[in-house]
Structure 1
Amino acid sequence: MAKHTICLIEGDGIGHEVIPAARRVLEAMGLDLEFTEAQAGYEHFLETGTSVPDRTLETVMAADATLFGAATSPSHKVPGFFGAIRFMRRKLDLFANVRPARSHPVPGSFEHVDLVLVRENTEGLYVEQERRYGDTAIADAVITRGASQRIGEYALNLARRRRNKLAVVHKANVLPVTQGLFLSTIMEEAKRNYGDVQAYDVIVDACAMHLVRHPQSFDVIVATNLFGDILSDLTAGLTGGLGIAPSGNIGLEHAVFESVHGSAPDIAGQGVSNPTATVLSAAMLLDHLGEAEAARKLETAVDTVLQEGPRTRDLGGSASTAQFTDALIARVK
């Protein structure tokens, strides 16, 4: 059995509850895991003046993978603050944001949905190159062939391991230079090296409609940063909401897995937060480390507890974080 080192970063708010819960579940699985801990987030910024200290980056880089809890995003501009996850994405070149959306036995989840949205994580409008001239504000959108090629290859390889279908989402009909480069780069790569994958293009607004009407028709979706950010929240809404949505930020050398939800300051410290998204992110982490069997076991345990209870109050139940976690541990054992 291989030994894996996992860095745990609680972050902000309910991150201090869901990360310890996920650790308890992972420790119950009988794997050879070593845990390290690091600090990052808005709370750490307020205490020290930095959201991600150098020692945290060193700990993340020394680990085989990292599990991050939750991050607070202030609603106003705070001088000197930079979001912890965005900082690590850039610093560690975590170019692929991976957001699976799979049906769960919870209210509001569509049936038979099983898709993955792959979002280019380093450029597009999110390069944050904005400027203002009086009443006019301008933002640059950066699309490069290299980044498009890299995310395209990642998505095509993922599709090849699944059902061999890849939807390339774009708005090249309006933005033929930037969106056109993203689209043509991936489609050319698919034609050249992935003849077994059915790669097809979908305009982003049509994709949103088809996701709502027929989400079961999608397998893997790849999109630029902004479109992927928006559509991934839509796909989470199809399968139970952001509270149970996992994700991964993956690069060639490092990977940081995180629950999609925020830090939920309104319930932080009450012991009632739902750790499902963090636990499912931990399952993605195990998959990334080559522990596919353990990952499937953990996902099955989550769905069993979501089906049979106890559920946390955000899903209509009354269980505490600890009670829900205890039920998961009983299942994985």
Structure 2
Amino acid sequence: MTGRELVVIPGDGIGREVVPAAVRVLHALCPETRVVEADAGWDCFQATGTSVPEATLDLVRQAGAALFGAVSSPSYPVKGYKSAILTLRRALGLYANVRPVRAAVDLQPPRAIDLVVVRENTEGLYVGRELRAGDQAVAERVITREASLRIGRIAARLALQHPSRKLTVVHKANVVPLSDGLFRDSVREAVNAVDENQVLQVDELLVDYAALKLVQQPEAFGVLVAPNLYGDILSDLAAHWCGGLGAAPSINLGDVHALAEPVHGSAPDIAGRGRANPAAAMLSLALLLRGHWGMREEADLLEDAVAFALRSVGGDAGTEVITTAVIEALGRVTSSV
């Protein structure tokens, strides 16, 4: 595959450390990939008045693929500020957030955990429709059939590729029957259309019980699909099993574009100290290689190299040590092929 281009958006805090580390690994694995850097995030907003410049969106639209590092966001209203990652997702039509969780390499005792949380990325409470009147604040929650159908299709296709062939639809239709009922029914409609031969084992769980089961018995899951807020919470909870948020990869998918995104935040407390673990950024790149560019062999090589490096040096070894270990692991594998 030639002419491949990746836009890298370091963002804020440790994003400026883990993204360059991931790019070094990408060049070691796929040296022909052209990398272009772009700006977005809280620091970008403070400097320019916008969290995502139009030039950044144009670059991603042209390339089709991006790696986003991390972003800081204020926990209070700031006039004119919009979340950089939410802006990127909406502007680029990235309606699916996919977060695989596999048991951490140092998990003791070892457990056979291999699950994927598929989160609808554009709706729910994250539409940002809030109103405050005196002592009362109201947030609108939006669920549409169209968005639920398309996330159902993505989830069904991923479940068909998953070894378990299990798909769990997560909702709370017993309390919010109109909105969650629409999500559940639309997802099931989409799944039935994709899984024509009824290969998948499809079930439903209320979101609170799904959370409990992810804690008690994560091995029971294959692919979970959920509305935006539920998926956000459940995927963070499930990240415990892969080593925490600092080790959790994800990818945002649309019909045209893809944006890989390590789950961790900007971690200002350790930014600039060389302590950030770049594994999540590297594993997010692997998801991009496999899910957007169709480079399954390279994705497998990268994931294996990251696992080998973490077993060898540990997740607390620091950015440079881990990056060097991954590149060395890739070098040993590729030289023996």
State the shift of 1:76 in Å. 2.1
> Is this contact kept in 2: 1:259–1:278, CA < 8 A?
yes
Note the residue ranges of structure 2 that are not aligned, 5 or more in a row.
332-337
How far the C-alpha of 1:77 sits from its partner, in A, is: 1.8
Q: Describe the shift of the 1:235–1:304 C-alpha distance in structure 2 as closer, same or farther (beyond 3 A).
A: same
Does structure 1 conserve the Cα–Cα contact (< 8 Å) formed by 2:156 and 2:194?
no
Supply the distance in 2 between the matched residues of 1:210 and 1:164 (Cα, whole angstroms): 18
Question: 1:146 deviation in Å?
Answer: 0.5
Equivalent residues in 2 for 1:44-63, closer than 5 Å: 44-63=44-63
- From 224, 228, 232, the equivalent of 1:229 is 232
Partner Cα distance (1:261, 1:193) in 2: 33
Match of 1:316 in 2: none
Query: Which of 307, 327, 330 pairs up with 1:329?
Result: 327
Can you list the C-alpha shifts for 1:256-275, whole angstroms capped at 9, x where unaligned?
Answer: 11111011111111112110
Partner of 1:240: 243
1:302 equivalent to 2:306? Answer: yes
Alpha-carbon offset, residue 312 of structure 1: 4.4
**Cross-structure match for 2:13:** 13
Counterpart selection for 1:290 from 288, 294, 297: 294
- 1:61 to 1:138, Cα distance in 2 relative to 1, 3 A: same
RMSD of aligned Cα (Å): 1.4
Residue number in structure 1 paired with 2:334: none
Question: CA shift at 1:56, angstroms?
Answer: 0.4
Contact 1:156 1:190 in 2 (8 A): yes
Counterpart residue number, 2:177: 176
The 5-angstrom pairing of residues 108-187 of structure 1 reads: 111-162=111-162, 163-187=164-188
Task: Tell whether the 8 Å contact from 2:153 to 2:194 is kept in structure 1 after alignment.
Answer: no
- In the TM superposition, residue 73 of structure 1 has moved relative to its aligned partner by 1.4
Distance between the aligned counterparts of 1:186 and 1:20, measured in 2?
38
Query: How far is the alpha carbon of 1:185 from its aligned partner?
Result: 1.1
Shift in Å at residue 108 of structure 1?
Answer: 6.9
136 and 144 in structure 1: CA distance in 2 versus 1, 3 angstrom threshold = same
Are residues 1:259 and 2:262 paired? Answer: yes
Contact 1:272 1:312 in 2 (8 A): no
Partners of 1:108 and 1:240 within 8 A in 2: no
Matched residues in 1 for 2:294 and 2:263: separation? Answer: 23
Q: Any unmatched runs of 5+ in structure 1?
A: 314-318
Letter of the structure 1 residue corresponding to residue 262 of structure 2? S
Say yes or no: does 1:320 pair with 2:318: yes
Give the Å deviation of 1:139.
Answer: 1.2
* CA contact 1:5–1:34 (8 Å) conserved in 2: yes
Alpha-carbon displacement from aligned partner over 1:125-184 (angstroms, at most 9, x marks no partner): 111111122222211111111000000011001111113211000000111100000001
Cα separation, partners in 2 of 1:108 and 1:267, compared to 1, 3 Å: farther
Q: Distance in 1 between matches of 2:18 and 2:185?
A: 41
Q: Is 1:99 matched up with 2:99?
A: yes
Tell me the amino acid that sits aligned with residue 293 of structure 1. Answer: E
TM-score norm. by structure 2 comes to 0.94
